[in-house]
A and B are shown apart, each in its own frame.
Chain A
Amino acid sequence: MKLFKWDFLKIIRDWKVRILLVSLFLFLASYSAFYQDRSIVLPLEELRSEYEDTQQIFHAIPQNHFDSATGQEVYDKLARQQSIIGMQRYILDEQEGNTVSGLENVVSDYVDQGLELAENRLFFYEADDFESQELLLSFMPAKTEIENDLKFLTYLKENNVDIDWNPLSPSFVLFNLINIVAGIFIFIIAAIFGADRFSRDQEFNWSISQGIPYSWTHQWRQRSFISWALIWIITLAGILVSYLFSTLFTDSGTLNYPVPLYSGEETVYVSIMQYVILALLLTMALSYIIVKLSTGLSWVFRNIYLTITIVTAVFYLPYVFALTGPAAGWNPFLYLQIIPVLEGAWEPLKNVTVTKLIISIAVLYIIVEIVFHFIFKLIPTRTGRLERRKN
């Protein structure tokens, strides 16, 4: 514990560390401000496009194809689709929530209408005897997408959450920020923080930092933990400030708003809050391993640039292992990227789940521990580089 205090002071008194911490905080805290400047496609505009598509369907499909019983049903549902989209556009345009105050009986409820719309579209996939089904479906979203829409809208209904007309609402900004932090961003931060934890002592403070009665493994774990804790104190503070700051721009949205989460074989919808907590916990766990790797490599190479390059390159390992096909689902190195797992980007590889992600993080932790146990045991501290005193 006594050594912890001095290792902490050594790190926090380093001007490079201070500048990095301040920069990290400023970037994260101001993220929401920069996010407001991006060009976005409002849900309203998407609906406008869908409305035009529906109109074109009527022109594209030969009129006599609607004459059959199924054709008539398709016609009615398409007409209803156009009506629903029109009302949904109006609801979004008014920016009041799922309906428009005073006009509830006219415009009805966005979610109920959305559910009806999704079910109608699924009907189109079932209408095999409709002569222009192929043409009709070319105007429709993919079946999986419609099923996900259904889950999304069901979540809204069950949790009594309003549709959010604003993609810049604080909860969306938070969601995007977490996805950025959980990516290459945290690898680079972890690499930079760990990259000279030992090399600095080896280069500039050798005689004062060697020969102390603590094992290298102990010092490695301690220094890694301090760097990791500093990174996350600042990161969480920055994320919180960013979120609070974004609430100044707009008060729409809620942390209960649903976002997709890939859970093995299908997508489920969880609240942004749940997603943020899950993604942050996983990223914190993975980043601890990365900081340990970076700190350990700084003991091996004593070259900050080489260490940063190697650690950053580790982020891209999953792309290599993804080439191995379905077997990759059992490869712990595939899980060095968290967001593709949560988003289901590795879905084609099969069996890529959050549970396996958690197990893989534990496996990676053990691998790093074992590797550095041998490195610290087998590599002497100062072979071939004995320097004379400088005085």
Chain B
Amino acid sequence: MSLEVKNLTINYGTKTVLKDVNFNIADNTIIGLVAPNGTGKTTLFNAIIRFIPINTGEILIDGTAYKNTTKDVKALHNKITFFPDQAELYEDFSGVEHIEMYRDIWNPESGNIDEVIRRLNMEGYVENKVKTYSLGMRQRLCFAMMIAADTKIMFMDEIMNGLDPVNVELVSSVLQEIKEDGKIIIVASHLLENLDDYADQIYFLNEQSIYYTYIREESHREYVKGYISEDNLKSVGPLEKGTLYLAGDRICIPADNLKEDEVFKLMSTLKKFSTAEVSLGPLGTHEHYLRIYKGERSYETV
């Protein structure tokens, strides 16, 4: 299975929100979709699932185009679910009823939902009415509904909102498990470091289109990453060519040409100037985010 978006353009009146968006996602893939608020993440989801009219472009699944006809939209909705808003759950329904409802609508042949409930540690509250739930409980319920629906393509918008670290980890690991069933999962999230834990590829939306993508497993160049203020930067001495100095005093120094003791020394130096964590590894989603949306600066230009 593959999800392909071709030349997608969305206008609201005279304002163009998305322009010529193109991508092709193979199955067994989790895509992290990253962009600041108001850039068009939700619009992209709404357009693919045909909630809003598409000005130009095509949505193809396994090479078949799905047009804006009743028949095609119905077939499209059989293959795609999107993450419900926790504030829009039915307050007088229990969690079990919500999960059963999604199962009955998308996946009626599947029987038991107990495994979903157990896997997401929801046994303690799932029989209660939703109006008694906290934000985190609601988010987990929304996720459980998606799992019960078990569609091939899943859009997970703001999935980690309101989850504590334990549940963020739980949801992340479940995402990786279900991906193996041949699914295509697109996750929009503001927990950028967390995306690096499970996403196979990251899409950055900018300037009305997919501005930049990178495949995590193919990012091998190592960096020493830490924080240092602009005042202290000069006292560190000359740094490697290609060093990135990003917004929020984030510094990423290429380590692939450094010896082990030089790396250690550099990390110790950075540690002296900031109590924040200093790490060694490839550029992550957080660094790319700063680079793309907050402005890219090389060390030499500071």
Query: Which residues from 74 to 94 on chain B have a C-beta closer than 8 Å to any C-beta of chain A?
Result: 74-75, 77-78, 80-90, 92-93
B105 touches A6 (CB 8 A): yes
Task: Say whether B58 faces chain A, with CB atoms less than 8 Å apart.
Answer: no
- Given A386-B43, A389-B158, A391-B135: A210 in contact with B104 (beta carbons within 8 A): no
Q: Give A126 Cβ to nearest chain B Cβ, in Å.
A: 69
Cβ-neighbour of B84 out of A208, A380, A384, A386 (below 8 A): A208
Task: Write the chain A residue with the least CB distance to B103.
Answer: A2
Docked complex Cα distance between A291 and B265 (Å)? 77
Q: What are the residues of chain A within 8 A of B51 when measuring CB–CB? A: 210-211, 380-382
Task: Say whether A249 faces chain B, with CB atoms less than 8 Å apart.
Answer: no
Cβ-neighbour of B87 out of A2, A380, A381, A390 (below 8 A): A390
Main secondary structure of the interface of A (DSSP, over half): loop
- Given A205-B90, A208-B88, A391-B162: A6 in contact with B101 (beta carbons within 8 A): yes
B85 touches A207 (CB 8 A): yes
Q: Mark B46-69, 1 if CB is under 8 A from A, else 0.
A: 100101110000000000000000
Cβ-neighbour of B80 out of A207, A211, A390 (below 8 A): A211
Q: Mark A365-391, 1 if CB is under 8 A from B, else 0.
A: 000000000001100111110101111
A2 touches B80 (CB 8 A): no
Query: Which residues from 341 to 356 on chain A have a C-beta closer than 8 Å to any C-beta of chain B?
Result: none
Q: Mark B22-49, 1 if CB is under 8 A from A, else 0.
A: 0000000000000001000011001001
Task: Say whether B275 faces chain A, with CB atoms less than 8 Å apart.
Answer: no
* Interface set of A (CB-CB < 8 Å, partner B): 2-3, 5-6, 9-10, 13-14, 204-208, 210-215, 217, 376-377, 380-384, 386, 388-391
- Given A9-B97, A205-B90, A380-B53: A213 in contact with B77 (beta carbons within 8 A): yes
Cβ-neighbour of B88 out of A204, A212, A376, A388 (below 8 A): A204
B82 touches A211 (CB 8 A): yes
Q: Give A82 Cβ to nearest chain B Cβ, in Å.
A: 70
Cβ-neighbour of A391 out of B93, B104, B161 (below 8 A): B161
Q: Give B94 Cβ to nearest chain A Cβ, in Å.
A: 11
Q: Give B164 Cβ to nearest chain A Cβ, in Å.
A: 14
Q: What are the residues of chain B within 8 A of A380 when measuring CB–CB? A: 51-53
A215 touches B46 (CB 8 A): no
Q: What are the residues of chain B within 8 A of A377 when measuring CB–CB? A: 70
Task: Write the chain A residue with the least CB distance to B98.
Answer: A208
Task: Write the chain B residue with the least CB distance to A382.
Answer: B51
Number of interface residues of B (CB under 8 A): 41
- Given A380-B53, A391-B158: A211 in contact with B42 (beta carbons within 8 A): no
Q: Give B189 Cβ to nearest chain A Cβ, in Å.
A: 12
A205 touches B89 (CB 8 A): yes
Q: What are the residues of chain A within 8 A of B42 when measuring CB–CB? A: 386, 388-389
A9 touches B93 (CB 8 A): yes
Cβ-neighbour of B86 out of A2, A6, A391 (below 8 A): A391
A213 touches B88 (CB 8 A): no
Q: Give A209 Cβ to nearest chain B Cβ, in Å.
A: 8
* 9 closest Cβ pairs, A-B complex: A390-B87, A2-B104, A213-B78, A207-B85, A213-B77, A208-B84, A13-B92, A207-B84, A6-B101
Query: Which residues from 147 to 176 on chain B have a C-beta closer than 8 Å to any C-beta of chain A?
Result: 157-158, 161-162
Docked complex Cα distance between A391 and B97 (Å)? 22
* Interface set of B (CB-CB < 8 Å, partner A): 12, 37, 42-43, 46, 49, 51-53, 70, 73-75, 77-78, 80-90, 92-93, 97-98, 101, 104-106, 108, 135, 139, 157-158, 161-162
Q: What are the residues of chain B within 8 A of A217 when measuring CB–CB? A: 70
Q: Give B145 Cβ to nearest chain A Cβ, in Å.
A: 8
Docked complex Cα distance between A212 and B77 (Å)? 6
Q: What are the residues of chain A within 8 A of B52 when measuring CB–CB? A: 380, 382-383, 386
Q: Give B85 Cβ to nearest chain A Cβ, in Å.
A: 4
Q: Give A387 Cβ to nearest chain B Cβ, in Å.
A: 9
- Given A389-B85, A391-B87: A214 in contact with B104 (beta carbons within 8 A): no
Docked complex Cα distance between A391 and B42 (Å)? 14
Task: Write the chain A residue with the least CB distance to B145.
Answer: A208
Q: What are the residues of chain B within 8 A of A212 when measuring CB–CB? A: 77, 105-106
Docked complex Cα distance between A388 and B46 (Å)? 12
A and B contact pairs by CB, cutoff 8 A, 21 listed:
A2-B108, A3-B104, A13-B92, A205-B89, A207-B85, A207-B88, A208-B84, A210-B51, A211-B49, A211-B81, A215-B74, A380-B51, A380-B52, A384-B12, A386-B12, A386-B46, A386-B52, A390-B87, A391-B86, A391-B87, A391-B162
Q: What are the residues of chain B within 8 A of A386 when measuring CB–CB? A: 12, 42-43, 46, 52
Q: What are the residues of chain B within 8 A of A213 when measuring CB–CB? A: 74-75, 77-78, 105-106
A10 touches B90 (CB 8 A): yes
A214 touches B70 (CB 8 A): no
Q: Give A1 Cβ to nearest chain B Cβ, in Å.
A: 9
Q: Give B140 Cβ to nearest chain A Cβ, in Å.
A: 13
Docked complex Cα distance between A13 and B97 (Å)? 12
A5 touches B104 (CB 8 A): yes
Most buried by A among B84, B135, B162: B84
B105 touches A2 (CB 8 A): yes
Docked complex Cα distance between A214 and B104 (Å)? 12
B105 touches A3 (CB 8 A): yes
Task: Write the chain A residue with the least CB distance to B157.
Answer: A389
Q: What are the residues of chain B within 8 A of A390 when measuring CB–CB? A: 85-88
Q: Give B44 Cβ to nearest chain A Cβ, in Å.
A: 12
